[in-house]
Each structure stands twice: as structure tokens, then as C-alpha cells.
């Protein structure tokens, strides 16, 4: 119930070739003060995106109109640091539905999957190819095919497969979430708790 | 019904077979396997949670989720709320000035009251940082599974618990079903043998390991810390080490419970008493890794190689021995452009010494180093000296109980004499959600856990270190080797 279904996504991508992008960069702690899940996209990458006087930093990729799309491509170890789901909310709220990297931090990856962002882990070599393709042509499109578990650079047809467990894949394709699942097994949980 | 195609329940006889097998087992396996409600084929385990901590920042949206789904809290007695992340550290008796923070604190109070959850809000004598108050009140116990919407929940692993941080969707799962969906991580053991040198603390051990493994070196793993150094370490020290597990990407870290653990727990308010204590103790004594049990990865380090540590960059893996020079990018793994970006942000260059660098702020506190042992260490250097005039120091206890200990042990008198003042408990400058922000461009020696860009305030520059290194910086005004002052 929580998010849109995800099957095949064809889109241009925004390149962020920085390693170890931590959740404090994705959304600084001072913007975690809401009690509702609203408006986090405005503060996505806040301190890389805006100066102290709130004017946009021209050299940051989100402020460059050449780049856009529903896919964010980051350097290795994307999403390290805090468990704040707000980082995933900010990425989703900004309009991304997929993050591609050669390595993801554990908690971020789980949070992303739980709210309907697909984390796609590719080889370092394929990540480099994606960055080069976008550098050569910012309108280069990627296709993420979740049922087939493939990511393809449409300009060249180069493709790689990615891993996702069957349970999460099924959930994302159907827009189900874990809470639906857990609610369906409350009696089993109650008897487990009683036996402990 | 839609899920049934994907799930295979492990039938009871098979479960029994698993438990009865004589295969050597790790501490982690013993605790994990005892909490699996259901195994999903090609998916995560449905994992039962014994203790759930919540705070004001990552819980409100979870409660909204419950409301929008029309579901309740399954076991409110297993969840504990405390306010810590955005609370002010002065004038806590006054209304919180920042309306957004005040709103989150009110939401925590109201949600806790509505669902019957224990709440230690601002002003409550039990209030403090969630990872300080859980252990000190006996809520955290060996063999438990413990989660909180905070990555430093790994702290509680010091007691031989499986403890890790979760996102808000998972907070909602725990509230509504006392379970989360979790793939079982791989297992890593880190041994540190030998004897630690002068002024080398648990924080230095943690920063050393992270520097060796890098900030992503343990991603996908759950760590057991073993060997002489951890066996001899106090509970406070073990909590510091386990706390920092997430900084090398590990979901959590744990230490097998022993007499040190049992002595710490005994008599604490919510710890088992009398017969329940005897029963619990018998179980806790089974919680260690069997000889011959296997790990996916194992590292062994020598304690004598570790010196007081300090970070020079923008992730916790960028740490060096305090007497060393900042490494050259060419000598490291990883991207050179990212390394240069990091040094630029810090205003440092390759091959510079850290010793002697000017320090503007010193912060002692946080869930990493906000316990009584940390303030004793800080005071051991500060005693008889004066705070450097140009240094602003924030001394922030992890809880009211720690604050009380600081007063009773005479540490406050030492601090006051040296020109320091004591603030009130909270997360404070660790993540700068309240007013305790390091200004742009300023250098802070901090006993907290993260030196990310802007972590302690926009533009702030953080040098992570132990309470001893922090104290040495506070009294000299520059990065100083604490071994020279002891």
C-alpha cells in the first residue's frame, strides 16, 4: 500500500561520481524535524546543493538543467552512516525511483527497498561505463528491468544483471510492503512470543 | 494470502533438529536463531525483537503509519521512549524554543501516552541518550534482540545482544508486530590481542579497526569482538567499540557476556531479580562462541600497534595514529578525487602532521563517549590545568544518571576549577540537531562517532578522538598527544 509498483523503468540519469555519499549529505540532520513525511526532497543534498544564503551552487549536478531523470547514479558505498529513512524519503520525494551504485550501505539499502526505491548494485566496471556514457551524452537512457533483473545502457545495449531477493522483488513489482506481510502472520508471532 | 506462494515455514521437527545439532555455533548464531519466527525462502527472516527503543526524530512517521492503516501497538511493554536527539543541553526546565523540535518532543510524548509506552521525556530523571539510558537502567540484557531507529543501536551489542539500527518503516513494523524482516548478515570476528599502551582507550581501538577495514569494510557483516583487549575492557569501553561498528559498515557488533557484564547489570532497576536473575544468568553463561565455530571473515590485530587515534578526513575510516602524518592519496585504496575533496573540506594537505593543529571547539559526550568512564578520563588530564582561552568546550553527559555521577565523584569540581562548565544530557553537537552547532570552518575535536561534512553544523570540521585526546586539545588549544600530559 505504501508505494508505486516497480516493473520497468526507462529514464535518463543524474550522475554523482562521489564515493561514500553518507546520509548526512543526502539529508542533513537539521532537516529531520518534521513529524510528517512531506517535503524532504527540497532538502535533498542540501549542503552540496545550496550556499548558506540558500542560493543554488551552480556546480552541483542537481542544479545543472542538462541532467535529470528518475535514476540517481552514485559512487561506491552509497548511503553510509545514519539509519535515517529520511534519506530515502528525500531521494524518493525529489523524484528518483532507482539508485545505481557499485556498493550500498546496508541500512540505506533496506530503507530504500522498504519505501519503493530500487537499489541496483552493478560492477565497478559497469558503473564506470554508466558515468562515461552520461558524461558523453547527458540524455543517455538507462533501462532498469526488475522482472528480468537487468540494467541496460540503451545507447550501446550493454547490460548487466543485478541481485535482489525473490521476496523483495515480488513486493516491489506488486507495491506490497513488509507491514502487510507481518499483519498477515500476527497469530504466529503471538504464539512465538508466548513460547519465549 | 498473496504471500503464501513465496513462503515456506520451517516445520517444527526440523527446527528441533537444528537446535539439537552439535555443530559448533557462534554467539551471533545462538542469539539470531532463537529469534527467527519464520524463514522466507529467497527472502528475509521474520525476526522477533525483544527491546525496542524510540526517540523523537525517527518515530513520528511510524505512528502516523499505524494510524493510517488503523492498526495498534502489539506489545507496548517492549518499547521504551526517550527524548535525546534535538533536546537543548542548557535550560531544560524552560520550554524548548525551536518550534519544530518542540513539536517532535510533543509527538513522542503524545504517541507514547496514547499507546501505553514508557516515556522518559525532557526533565525526567531517567532521561538521556537512548544508548546510554538503556544499559544503565538494566533494559539492555544479554541474548536479546534490540532495535531503534538510530544506527548507533549497535552500542547494546556490548552486552552480548544483537542490536542494530533500523529505518522508520521498520519502527512501524516493530510497533505493530514486534518483528522486522531481516536477511541474516554474514559473520565477522575481530580479535585484538595483547595489552593496550599508555593513553590508548576503547575509542582508539575502534578508530584503529575502522581505519584498517575502511568505512565500508564490514558492510553486510555482524561483528563479534574477541581477544584479550575486549575481555579486559569495561562495559563502558565495550559499548564505545560496539557503538562504532556501524562506522565500518557493520550492522552491529557484539562481545560475549562475562563476569564484567553480569556485575554491571546486577542490581540495575529493570534487570531481573532473585530467582529470575539466577535463571537469566544460567542462560547468559551459554552465550559465547563455541570452539571451532566458523566465521565468514576473521581479522586479528595486535594491541601494541595501536596508539591514540585522530581522524583527519570526512569519514570515520580516515583516522591515523596521532603521531603520524596525513597519508598521501596515492598510498590509499579508493578514488583520489573523493580523497582530495575530503582534505579540501578539512583544509588539510597530504603529509602534514596532526599534532599542533589549532582546535576551536572540543565536544565530549554522545552515545559513543558520554558515560562516566569517559568523564573520568577527561578529568584525569584536565585536573590541575586550565582550558585554553580560545577553545569553546561542550561537556555533555549522556544521561542525568551520568550527570549525577559526575557531581558525586568530584569530577564537576575538577572541571569547574579548570574553566569548564557542564551541560545537560542529550545528543548535542554529535549531530547538531539542537543549538550545539560548530560554526562553518571551525575545527572541533569531538568524542562522537561521525566526521562527515557538516555533521556538527554546516561547514564544521570534525576530528574524532578519545576523551583523553579531547582533553589534551581542550587544555592546550591544539591537537596534542595525551601521552605527553599523563
Quickly list DSSP for A21-58: -BHHHHS-GGG---SSS-SGGGGTTHHHHB-TTS-B-T
- Residue A157, sorted as left (phi over 0), alpha (psi -120 to 50) or beta, turns out to be left
Distance CA B114, CA A154 (A): 53
Distance CA A28, CA B29 (A): 36
CB within 8 Å: A33 and B101: yes
* 3-state SS assignment for residue B151: helix
List the Cα angle B206/B210/B212 in 5-degree steps: 120
Is the pLDDT confidence value at B16 over 80? no
B221-226: strand order across its sheet: B252-254, B221-226, B186-193, B297-302
What pLDDT does residue B429 have? 97
Residues of B with CB below 8 A from A32's CB? 57-58, 85, 433
User: Does A160 contact B at CB distance below 8 Å?
Assistant: no
Which burial class, exposed, middle or buried, applies to B23 when counting CB atoms under 10 A from its CB (0-12, 13-18, 19+)? Answer: exposed
What pLDDT does residue B21 have? 59
What pLDDT does residue B4 have? 39
Confidence of residue A71 (pLDDT cuts 50, 70, 90): very high
Q: What average pLDDT does the segment A105-134 reach?
A: 97
Distance CA B48, CA B50 (A): 7
Cell numbers describing residue B355: 599534532
Residues of A with CB below 8 A from B98's CB? 33
Residue from B33, B72, B79, B151 to probe the interface with A (highest A Cβ count within 10 Å): B151
Backbone torsions φ then ψ of B278, nearest 5 degrees: -60, -40
B392-395: strand order across its sheet: B392-395, B361-364, B443-446, B461-464
Contact A77, A127 (CB under 8 A): no
Contact B251, B326 (CB under 8 A): no
- Distance from the Cα of residue A62 to its chain's centroid: 15
Backbone torsions φ then ψ of A161, nearest 5 degrees: -95, 155
What pLDDT does residue B1 have? 34
User: Does A173 contact B at CB distance below 8 Å?
Assistant: no
pLDDT tens for B407-436 read 999 999 999 999 999 999 999 999 999 999
What pLDDT does residue B336 have? 85
Is the pLDDT confidence value at B382 over 70? yes
Distance CA B479, CA B471 (A): 10
CB within 8 Å: A106 and B216: no
Q: What average pLDDT does the segment B339-347 reach?
A: 96
What pLDDT does residue A2 have? 59
Is the pLDDT confidence value at B388 over 70? yes
Distance CA B29, CA B35 (A): 10
Q: When comparing pLDDT for A177 and B7, which is higher?
A: A177
Q: How far is CA B481 from CA B171, B321, B388, B405, B451, in A?
A: 42, 10, 16, 27, 20
Q: Is the dihedral of CA A163, A167, A171, A174 positive or negative?
A: positive
**Nearest C-alpha of chain A: how many angstroms from B302?**
27
CB within 8 Å: B167 and A83: yes
Across all residues in chain B, what is the average pLDDT?
95
Residues of A with CB below 8 A from B338's CB? 18-20, 75
pLDDT tens for B243-291 read 999 999 999 999 999 999 999 999 999 999 999 999 999 999 999 999 9
Q: What average pLDDT does the segment B349-357 reach?
A: 98
% of residues, chain B, pLDDT over 70: 96
Distance CA B268, CA B287 (A): 21
Contact B81, B120 (CB under 8 A): yes
Distance CA B33, CA B47 (A): 9
Residues of A with CB below 8 A from B252's CB? none
What pLDDT does residue B195 have? 98
What pLDDT does residue B10 have? 41
Distance CA B198, CA B200 (A): 5
Residue from B216, B220, B429 to probe the interface with A (highest A Cβ count within 10 Å): B216
pLDDT tens for B88-109 read 999 999 999 999 999 999 999 9
Q: What average pLDDT does the segment A51-61 reach?
A: 96
pLDDT tens for A13-33 read 999 999 999 999 999 999 999
Q: What average pLDDT does the segment B348-374 reach?
A: 98
Q: What average pLDDT does the segment B382-403 reach?
A: 98
User: How far apart, in Å, do the first and last CA atoms of chain B sit?
Assistant: 67
What pLDDT does residue B335 have? 78
Option in B38, B104, B216 nearest A188 (CB): B38
pLDDT tens for B40-71 read 999 999 999 999 999 999 999 999 999 999 99
Q: Beta A158-161 vs B319-321: how paired, if at all? A: unpaired
E strand or H helix at B144: none
Distance CA B464, CA B204 (A): 10
Residues of A with CB below 8 A from B334's CB? 19
Confidence of residue B180 (pLDDT cuts 50, 70, 90): very high
Option in B44, B64, B179 nearest A36 (CB): B64
- The ipTM, to two decimals, is 0.97
Q: What average pLDDT does the segment B206-212 reach?
A: 98
What pLDDT does residue B393 have? 98
Quickly list DSSP for B154-204: GGGGGGT-EEEE--HHHHHHHHHHSEEEEPPPEEEEEEEES---TT--HHH
CB within 8 Å: A33 and B71: no
What pLDDT does residue B9 have? 42
What pLDDT does residue A3 have? 76
CB within 8 Å: A35 and B104: yes
Amino acid at each position: 500500500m505504501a508505494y508505486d509498483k516497480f516493473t520497468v523503468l526507462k529514464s535518463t540519469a543524474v550522475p554523482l561520481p562521489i564515493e561514500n555519499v553518507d546520509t548526512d549529505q543526502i539529508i542533513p540532520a537539521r532537516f529531520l524535524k518534521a513529524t510528517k513525511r512531506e517535503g524532504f526532497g527540497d532538502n535533498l543534498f542540501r549542503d552540496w546543493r545550496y550556499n548558506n544564503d540558500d542560493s543554488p551552487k551552480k556546480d552541483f549536478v542537481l542544479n545543472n538543467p542538462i541532467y535529470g531523470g528518475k535514476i540517481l547514479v552514485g559512487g561506491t558505498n552509497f548511503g553510509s552512516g545514519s539509519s535515517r529513512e529520511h534519506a530515502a524519503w528525500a531521494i524518493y520525494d525529489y523524484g528518483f525511483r532507482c539508485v545505481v551504485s557499485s556498493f550500498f550501505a546496508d541500512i540505506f539499502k533496506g530503507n530504500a527497498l522498504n519505501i519503493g526505491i530500487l537499489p541496483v548494485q552493478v560492477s565497478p566496471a559497469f558503473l564506470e561505463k554508466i558515468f562515461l556514457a552520461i558524461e558523453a551524452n547527458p540524455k543517455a537512457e538507462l533501462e532498469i528491468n526488475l522482472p528480468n533483473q537487468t540494467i541496460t545502457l540503451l545507447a550501446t545495449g550493454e547490460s548487466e544483471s543485478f541481485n535482489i531477493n525473490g521476496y523483495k522483488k515480488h513486493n516491489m513489482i506488486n507495491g506490497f510492503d513488509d507491514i502487510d506481510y507481518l499483519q498477515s502472520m500476527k497469530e504466529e508471532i503471538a504464539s512465538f512470543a508466548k513460547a519465549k | 494470502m498473496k504471500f503464501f506462494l513465496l513462503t515456506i515455514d520451517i516445520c517444527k521437527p526440523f527446527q528441533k533438529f537444528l537446535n539439537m545439532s552439535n555443530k559448533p555455533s557462534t554467539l551471533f548464531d545462538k542469539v539470531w536463531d532463537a529469534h527467527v519466527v519464520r524463514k522466507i525462502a529467497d527472502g528475509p527472516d521474520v525476526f522477533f525483537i525483544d527491546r525496542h527503543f524510540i526517540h523523537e526524530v525517527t518515530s513520528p512517521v511510524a505512528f502516523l503509519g499505524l494510524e493510517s492503516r488503523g492498526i495498534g501497538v502489539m506489545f507496548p511493554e517492549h518499547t521504551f521512549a526517550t527524548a535525546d536527539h534535538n533536546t537543548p543541553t542548557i535550560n531544560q526546565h524552560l520550554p524548548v524554543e525551536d518550534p519544530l523540535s518542540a513539536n517532535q518532543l510533543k509527538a513522542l510524548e503524545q504517541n507514547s501516552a496514547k499507546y501505553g509506552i514508557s516515556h522518559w521525556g525532557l526533565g525526567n530523571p531517567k532521561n538521556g541518550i537512548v544508548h546510554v539510558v538503556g544499559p544503565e537502567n538494566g533494559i539492555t540484557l544479554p541474548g536479546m534482540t534490540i532495535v531503534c531507529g538510530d544506527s548507533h543501536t549497535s552500542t547494546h551489542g556490548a552486552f552480548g545482544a544483537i542490536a542494530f539500527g533500523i529505518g522508520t518503516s521498520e519502527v512501524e513494523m516493530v510497533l505493530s508486530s514486534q518483528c522486522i524482516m531481516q536477511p541474516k548478515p554474514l559473520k565477522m570476528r575481530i580479535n585484538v590481542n595483547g595489552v593496550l599502551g599508555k593513553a590508548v582507550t576503547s575509542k582508539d581501538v575502534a578508530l584503529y579497526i575502522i581505519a584498517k577495514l575502511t568505512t565500508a569494510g564490514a558492510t553486510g557483516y555482524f561483528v563479534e569482538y574477541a581477544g584479550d583487549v575486549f575481555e579486559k575492557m569495561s562495559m563502558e569501553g565495550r559499548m564505545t567499540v560496539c557503538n562504532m561498528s556501524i562506522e565500518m559498515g557493520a550492522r552491529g557488533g557484539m562481545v560475549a557476556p562475562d563476569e564484567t557484564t553480569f556485575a554491571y547489570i546486577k542490581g540495575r532497576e529493570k534487570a531481573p531479580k532473585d530467582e529470575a536473575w539466577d535463571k537469566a544468568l544460567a542462560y547468559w553463561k551459554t552465550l559465547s562462541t563455541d570452539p571451532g565455530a566458523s566465521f565468514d571473515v576473521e581479522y586479528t590485530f595486535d594491541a601494541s600497534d595501536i596508539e591514540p587515534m585522530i581522524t583527519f578526513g570526512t569519514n570515520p575510516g580516515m583516522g591515523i595514529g596521532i603521531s603520524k602524518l596525513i597519508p598521501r592519496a596515492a598510498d590509499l585504496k579508493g578514488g583520489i578525487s573523493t580523497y582530495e575533496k575530503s582534505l579540501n573540506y578539512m583544509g588539510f594537505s597530504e603529509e602534514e602532521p596532526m599534532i599542533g593543529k589549532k582546535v576551536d571547539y572540543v565536544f565530549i559526550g554522545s552515545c559513543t563517549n558520554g558515560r562516566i568512564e569517559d568523564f573520568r578520563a577527561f578529568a584525569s588530564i584536565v585536573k590541575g590545568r586550565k582550558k585554553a582561552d580560545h577553545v569553546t568546550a561542550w561537556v555533555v553527559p549522556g544521561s542525568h544518571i551520568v550527570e549525577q555521577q559526575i557531581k558525586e565523584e568530584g569530577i564537576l569540581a575538577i572541571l569547574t576549577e579548570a574553566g569548564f562548565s557542564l551541560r545537560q544530557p542529550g545528543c548535542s553537537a554529535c549531530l547538531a540537531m539542537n543549538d550545539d552547532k560548530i560554526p562553518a570552518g571551525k575545527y572541533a575535536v569531538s568524542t562522537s562517532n561521525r566526521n562527515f561534512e557538516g555533521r556538527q553544523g554546516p561547514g564544521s570540521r570534525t576530528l574524532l578522538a578519545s576523551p583523553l585526546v579531547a582533553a589534551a586539545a581542550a587544555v592546550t588549544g591544539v591537537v596534542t598527544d595525551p601521552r605527553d600530559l599523563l
